[in-house]
Amino acid sequence: MLLIKRIIKNTSQSLCRIDRVQPVLSRKNSTLIGAFSPSQPKFHVQYHNFNILKDAMEHDTTLPSFMVGYKNGFLPRQDPLAKLPDRFYALEHLLQNMPIQLPNGEEGLLAKGQLGDAVKDLPQFDVSDINDQRLLSGDLYNYQRIDPTKPIVYSNLKLIRAFAGTPSEHGFILVHVAMVAHSGNLVKYTMETIEATQEKDRIKFNNAMKNLSDTMNLINQEMETMWERSNTDDYLKFRTFIMGSKNQPMFPNGVIYEGVSEKPLFYRGESGANDSMIPCMDNLLQITSKLPNNPLTEVLKDFRRYRPTNHKEFLDFVQRKAEEVNVRGFAIQVCKVNSLYLANMDQIRAFRHRHWNFTKEYIIKNTTHPVATGGSPIVTWLPNQLGTILEQMNKISHTIDYNKLTPENKILIDEIINKANAQERVLNREVKFLKQQFGPSQDRVVV
């Protein structure tokens, strides 16, 4: 459903009016509002603990799709519906014919400029009786297992919906899904780290921190495959379709959703910034509270509101609890653990460093468009967070008592710190240069 909203936004001029799909949208909109309100009481966050699903309860279609679980992590509890129910045949047909390039090689509606008219021909759908949450989700909810009995790994996935219909678009979305498939363990070791800190159990803490950095390492390795699975020259061909309407030059007056609001609305577009893995790490290691007090950080906080309620509550819980038990303080009490804490910071660094490289290669090299799909300024926003982690790593390195380190650990820590130092210098140079190139557009921050 969300796709339809996007198509309409993106096929129209700066101010667009929507009527034919309004029932679908208004239902979607009410779900969105629900998504920002507290989740159902039985899953309420308790102060000392958080209700994490042990079992994904795949057969229950009425619970929210996105609920944090040890098995599903930050992925939805059930696989997405690959095909809409028969009563939505017209919509399903339209979506299948939408991509620029269809699976049979022919041109789809987007290539022929016919999507807008096709949307106008859609019937009015009555969706008032729909409780199946799978019909009310979007974005990352876009993968199908080729063999349903096999796990969620890249080679076993295919896309359900596409805009461009190219292998690069397939890679772009499914690499992300394959990364999040590891997030069940991320949730597990996050909770274990918090518990171990609370119980002041050093052995449990060390194990949890080690397992956490191993899990992040797997996620980062998966991310590295983006280079080979999505061609850097193809990204702009589908990026247009995932742009939002907040701080987006192509929608200076926002979007009016008829029947929903008479006032134009402004939403951030699809972005990895809605993902929960890095915010979880930031919160656990207490990096979030170290972010500079500036408008760019406000944008980050705004992004963190754009996620399913249960994810938001979990991330808030991790942030509050990590501060309360003081994960960082416990980590740096003993030099050995300091290296494990640092190893985890290094995983956040590795993620954000690669991610900045993606942004330079997939986007900045190919366009001077000043903002990203989520509406953040393209050359300053990501460095705000990457710069913070690099700076924090360099700061923490000064607290290490090198005399207490084993020679092996000393080498490891030196490697991590030297790399972070060098990357901080390069980043500062790059941003200075890019800011000159992009000019005042980069100072325009809309929260």
Q: Which residues bind ligand HEM (CB under 6 A)?
A: 172, 175-176, 179, 223, 226, 230, 235, 271-273, 275, 277-278, 352, 355, 358-359, 362-363, 372-376, 381-382, 385
Pick the closer one to ligand HEM by CB: 51 or 232: 232
CB of 300 to ligand HEM, least distance (A): 6
Pick the closer one to ligand HEM by CB: 345 or 400: 345
Yes or no: say if 375 and 446 are a contact pair by the CB < 8 Å rule: yes
DSSP secondary structure string, 322-338? HHHHTHHHHHTTSHHHH
Pick the closer one to ligand HEM by CB: 99 or 377: 377
CB of 212 to ligand HEM, least distance (A): 16
Yes or no: say if 153 and 178 are a contact pair by the CB < 8 Å rule: yes
180: left (phi over 0), alpha (psi -120 to 50) or beta: alpha
Residue nearest to ligand HEM (CB): 272
CB of 211 to ligand HEM, least distance (A): 20
Q: Pick from 300, 209, 275: which is nearest to 74 by CA?
A: 275
Yes or no: say if 356 and 382 are a contact pair by the CB < 8 Å rule: yes
C-alpha distances out from residue 95 to 3, 134, 168, 173, 329, Å? 8, 16, 19, 17, 52
Q: Which amino acid is at 298?
A: E
Burial 156-182 (b: 16+ CB within 10 A, else e): bbebbbbbbbbebbbbbbbbbbbbbbb
CB of 373 to ligand HEM, least distance (A): 4
Q: How far apart are CA 350 and CA 429, in angstroms?
A: 19
Pick the closer one to ligand HEM by CB: 75 or 278: 278
CB of 272 to ligand HEM, least distance (A): 2
Yes or no: say if 111 and 48 are a contact pair by the CB < 8 Å rule: no
Pick the closer one to ligand HEM by CB: 275 or 313: 275
Q: Is the dihedral of CA 365, 369, 375, 378 positive or negative?
A: positive
CB of 290 to ligand HEM, least distance (A): 13
CB of 339 to ligand HEM, least distance (A): 24
User: Is 199 buried (19+), middle (13-18) or exposed (0-12) by CB count in 10 A?
Assistant: exposed
HSE, side-chain direction, 13 A CA sphere, residue 244: 22
CB of 415 to ligand HEM, least distance (A): 23
176 known ligand binder: no
Pick the closer one to ligand HEM by CB: 92 or 430: 430
CB of 102 to ligand HEM, least distance (A): 24
Enclosing H/E stretch for 132: none
Pick the closer one to ligand HEM by CB: 288 or 339: 288
C-alpha distances out from residue 19 to 87, 264, 272, 357, Å? 20, 14, 30, 41
Pick the closer one to ligand HEM by CB: 205 or 314: 314
Pick the closer one to ligand HEM by CB: 75 or 400: 75
Q: Is the dihedral of CA 248, 251, 256, 257 positive or negative?
A: negative
Q: How far apart are CA 247 and CA 235, in angstroms?
A: 20
Residues at the annotated binding site for heme b? 355
Residues at the annotated binding site? 355
